[in-house]
Structure 1
Amino acid sequence: MEMDALITYLQTTGASFAIDLVAALAIFVIGRWVTSVVHRLSIKAMERAKVEPLLVKFLGNILRTLLLIVVVLAAISQLGIQTTSLIAVLGAAGLAVGLALQGSLANFAAGVLVIIFRPYKIGDYVEAGGVAGTIDDVQIFTTELKTGDNRKIIVPNGQMMSGAITNYSSHDTRRVDLVASVGYDADIDVVRRVLEEVVAKDSRVLASPAPNIRMSAMLDSSVDWIVRPWVKASDYWDVYWEMTEEIKRRFDAEGISIPFPQRDVHVYHHDEQKGEQSGL
């Protein structure tokens, strides 16, 4: 009789556990689907509200993580496991893990600071954390950048916020800094006229602030001129390269020499007195 009772108990318990297991799996699968739907809808809602793209992705990642935690806890609860005790155990374990993973927590905190202070946003070209590139995505712990040669760089948020951040895209305009070197034999008025004409010819140069063209230094082998027009940030590199080329073309056409390092060597010849000196 005891064996029959044990078999009956196992059959009843096994059937109940199987039902709970199937229900837990259903909760997990459906919960993941609901999480994905809620995540997509929240992203679309924030985009329609014209929320900053950086904030949209960051909040979306946090929301998805929290929803997945709720789904997992619901599935575990369906199996009959006391989630209250489990949460307490996970809290204690989380404290220990948190102490061991202080760097990760620092990266999370840095990610929050990025959202609050917004030193950069998606699409900005920045130098930070020892790397340079266009901000492609900001995760909970890391920031993804894309370099000019299409490489992806993943940098911890803590590293991004640990030093100076140079954001080349924060303003609509930038100043192009060029240096044009000419020889000492070049006429000052001609050089100034050529440089002014090159700048005035480029339609991408802004009228305000006005371009600055000045003689800046007299070096050992050259006279340096600064050429500093203002342009839209998106036109910076095109203007930099094309204006440098145009200056060289105009200097060649005007016969203005471009110096190269050189040194004058003076050789002095001394006449040697030849003859025998008496007594030597």
Structure 2
Amino acid sequence: MKQSPASFNDFEAFLNKFIDKTISFLPNLIGAIILFVVGIWVCRIIRKFVKRIMISRSVDTTIQNFVNELLRWILYIILFLTVIQKIGVPVSSFLGALAAAGVAVGLALQGSLSNFAGGIMLLILKPFRIGDSIETKGHIGNVERIGMFYTTIIKFGNEQVMIPNGPLFSDNIVNYSRTKKRRDKIIVGIGYGSDLKKAKEILYTLAKECPTALQDPIPIVYVEELADSSVNLSLRVWSNTENYWDTHFYLVEQMKLSFDKENIEIPFPQTDVHIIPN
């Protein structure tokens, strides 16, 4: 079909208008790209500057990480709004649309907002710090990172666990690193026919000779329980927090070796079967 002159003129006019718009828009686009690249660089400079100030003033590492992450989001949002304004998008209209969508987004992200609020409360109340050994939500490990939404824990088997800040803050938290000293309670059972006084003397001697056990407060040995098949002794011994597990494992091993050497029985579950002939 032969194209009419009117249709060709309309297409030519549209093409010329498109080219004119593109040429007029091109400086803004180039400027926006340059602004974006420079803005990313400036954001990094600001974050590094703020971090240096916090380090020079000995601000807690937990607060440093949290402020750094929060500052990153704020700076990137400001940069984004500046770039779209440079392109020609009215910021006021964009913010209005963003506010209208914010209600729906807020309802959809209630969990994330709860985690953010939990992170703020963890930052304010400081139930633990980075490097602390804690127990929470069924996990025990060292705190590696406290973020805006999640706290990262490295378990003793080197497994990484990320726990949402909201449930974490509302749960029970046991901090094993907050105090300088910890008291261990080691239970060991001996047979009813074994020498009770000798067993207690052995435990006192082990606690005294343990290189990482503290002697102030002094170690104490109690008769914990007269159980069904054993007399359970309880050794209470103090150590510095960083030496807690070394002290525990040393004493448990030495108990077994010393009791074997002194012929003190450590009972174990066993079943006697009596066969009654017909």
Q: Could you tell me the TM-score, scaled by structure 1's length?
A: 0.89
Structure-2 residue corresponding to 1:274? none
The CA distance in 1 between the partners of 2:111 and 2:62, in whole Å, is 22
Counterpart of 2:229 in 1: which secondary structure?
Answer: coil
Deviation digits for residues 94-131 of structure 1, max 9, x if unmatched?
Answer: 12200121111111101101001111110112122333
**Structure 1 moving runs of 4+ over 6 Å:** 1-8, 263-269
- The 1:14–1:195 alpha-carbon spacing in structure 2 relative to 1, beyond 3 Å, is same
The CA distance in 1 between the partners of 2:49 and 2:19, in whole Å, is 44
The CA distance in 1 between the partners of 2:223 and 2:140, in whole Å, is 32
Contact 1:176 1:228 survives alignment (8 Å): yes
1:58-137 aligned at under 5 Å gives the runs 58-137=66-145
Query: What amino acid is the match of 1:129?
Result: K
Gaps of 5+ in 1: 270-280
Residue 57 of structure 2 is aligned with which of 49, 59, 64? 49
Structure-2 residue corresponding to 1:252? 260
Is it true that 1:31 corresponds to 2:39 in the alignment?
A: yes
Give % identity: 33
The CA distance in 2 between the partners of 1:48 and 1:116, in whole Å, is 21
Counterpart of 1:108 in 2: which secondary structure?
Answer: helix
Structure-2 residue corresponding to 1:277? none
Counterpart of 1:169 in 2: which secondary structure?
Answer: coil
After the TM superposition, which of the residue ranges 102-111 and 4-13 deviates more from structure 2?
A: 4-13
What is the CA distance between 1:203 and its match in structure 2? Answer: 2.3
- The 1:116–1:264 alpha-carbon spacing in structure 2 relative to 1, beyond 3 Å, is same
Query: What amino acid is the match of 2:97?
Result: V
RMSD (Å) for aligned C-alpha atoms: 2.4
What is the CA distance between 1:265 and its match in structure 2? Answer: 8.0
The CA distance in 1 between the partners of 2:255 and 2:142, in whole Å, is 30
The CA distance in 1 between the partners of 2:176 and 2:40, in whole Å, is 40
What is the CA distance between 1:44 and its match in structure 2? Answer: 2.4
The CA distance in 2 between the partners of 1:147 and 1:3, in whole Å, is 68
What is the CA distance between 1:152 and its match in structure 2? Answer: 1.4
What is the CA distance between 1:260 and its match in structure 2? Answer: 2.2
- The 1:35–1:217 alpha-carbon spacing in structure 2 relative to 1, beyond 3 Å, is same
- The 1:257–1:9 alpha-carbon spacing in structure 2 relative to 1, beyond 3 Å, is same
Size of the aligned set, in residue pairs, is 269
After the TM superposition, which of the residue ranges 251-260 and 6-15 deviates more from structure 2?
A: 6-15
Residue 155 of structure 2 is aligned with which of 144, 147, 162? 147
Query: What amino acid is the match of 1:149?
Result: G
Residue 235 of structure 1 is aligned with which of 231, 239, 243? 243
What is the CA distance between 1:89 and its match in structure 2? Answer: 1.3
After the TM superposition, which of the residue ranges 250-259 and 127-136 deviates more from structure 2?
A: 127-136
The CA distance in 2 between the partners of 1:257 and 1:88, in whole Å, is 79
Contact 1:120 1:170 survives alignment (8 Å): yes
Structure-2 residue corresponding to 1:13? 21
Query: What amino acid is the match of 1:108?
Result: F
Query: What amino acid is the match of 2:204?
Result: E
Is it true that 1:211 corresponds to 2:219 in the alignment?
A: yes
The CA distance in 1 between the partners of 2:24 and 2:133, in whole Å, is 58
Contact 1:129 1:161 survives alignment (8 Å): no
Structure-1 residue corresponding to 2:3? none
The CA distance in 2 between the partners of 1:225 and 1:4, in whole Å, is 99
The CA distance in 1 between the partners of 2:104 and 2:140, in whole Å, is 35
The CA distance in 2 between the partners of 1:177 and 1:207, in whole Å, is 15
The CA distance in 2 between the partners of 1:29 and 1:154, in whole Å, is 33
Residue 224 of structure 1 is aligned with which of 228, 232, 235? 232
Contact 1:129 1:162 survives alignment (8 Å): no
Q: Could you tell me the TM-score, scaled by structure 2's length?
A: 0.89
1:136-215 aligned at under 5 Å gives the runs 136-215=144-223
The CA distance in 2 between the partners of 1:24 and 1:157, in whole Å, is 37
Gaps of 5+ in 2: 1-8
Deviation digits for residues 126-159 of structure 1, max 9, x if unmatched?
Answer: 1223332211111111111111121211111112
